[in-house]
Structure 1
Amino acid sequence: MEQPAEYKLVCGSQLMDKSVIHDYVSRSYWAEGIPRAVMDKAIDNALCFGVFKADEQVAFARLITDGATFAYLADVFVLEEHRGKGLSKLMMDKIISHPELQGLRRMMLATRDAHGLYLKYGFTPLVAPDTFMQLWQPNVYG
């Protein structure tokens, strides 16, 4: 996908606007109430992608990865007023082609409402969901 002229995609946790990210993610269905310090640590320890319009961060995604076999895609969002411009596809194109993410055996994500986007990039429902387990602590933030 061609990058819209007024937007710039960047990669690197040090380039992200942690205030914008925390504001959005702390109100999300997947991490409501996440403390700022926890979100900052998550950003610092991940491979991060952001889309900016001028100096304003308008989209974000992060991958938790060992860089060799596995990655988990998390905290993907585009601010409401910038949706419909292909920014999620722009980020996904960059993520899927990023050199540090080549050759991974598995990349996972969880979504409630964006299945259509991720299907376009080869994601599918779990083949054997009964083989996956989780330690779920939904009230860890408060």
Structure 2
Amino acid sequence: MFVFSSDVDRVDRALVHRWLSEESYWAKGRSRADQDAAMAASRNYGVYEEPTGRQVGYARLVTDGVFFGWLCDVFVDAAARGKGIGKMLVSGVLDDVTPRGPKRIVLATADAQGLYEQFGWAELSGEMTWMVRIRPDAEPAGDAPLA
């Protein structure tokens, strides 16, 4: 059995850093200091195995809480994949910020479009062109949200 939580004190920061810096395709090499700073400036979520309390998933939402949000760092432990953890994370995040939450939530993914489409995400189109600015001295560690 798995449970979703928005309790930031429950997040295993060392584990999340290891997952993202060693196993994700978008944050390889991310420093622990950078990860901790990003977590401090975001809403953090986890999924935990019960009754052990072992963390099996993580997601982060960067948001102003009203107009805009960026869902990022969604990760499920390899040993727990295929058990609905990704759906539990996305559903839990949306439940946490709805109905008063951001009017727009964006994300970038190279491989999980099907998951996010189930919750109403679609590829960007329309009148506006989304652009990105990457700091010139930034390490190319895959942290660009729309690259």
**Superposed, which structure 2 residues align to 1:20-59 within 5 Å?**
20-27=15-22, 28-53=24-49, 54-59=52-57
Secondary structure, counterpart of 1:29 in structure 2 = coil
- The Cα shift of 1:71 comes to 0.4
Residue ranges of structure 2 left out of the alignment (5+ in a row): 142-147
CA distance in 1, matches of 2:121, 2:140: 29
Secondary structure, counterpart of 1:98 in structure 2 = helix
Residue among 80, 83, 90 paired with 1:92: 90
Q: TM-score, normalised by structure 2?
A: 0.84
Secondary structure, counterpart of 2:79 in structure 1 = helix
| Residue matched to 2:144 | none
AA matched with 2:30: I
1:96-134 per-position Cα deviation (integer Å, ceiling 9, x unaligned): 221466352210000000000000000000014861111
CA distance in 2, matches of 1:35, 1:94: 27
Residue among 72, 77, 80 paired with 2:75: 77
AA matched with 1:88: G
Identical positions, percent:
35
AA matched with 1:48: N
Q: 1:131 to 1:51 in 2, by over 3 A?
A: same
AA matched with 1:60: Y
Q: Is the 8 A contact 1:95 1:101 kept in 2?
A: no
What is the aligned residue count? 136
| Residue matched to 2:145 | none
Q: TM-score, normalised by structure 1?
A: 0.87
AA matched with 1:73: L
Q: Is the 8 A contact 1:50 1:91 kept in 2?
A: yes
Q: 1:120 to 1:83 in 2, by over 3 A?
A: same
| Residue matched to 2:106 | 108
AA matched with 2:85: L
1:44-82 per-position Cα deviation (integer Å, ceiling 9, x unaligned): 221111011223211000100000111000000110110
Pairwise CA RMSD:
1.9
| Residue matched to 2:66 | 68
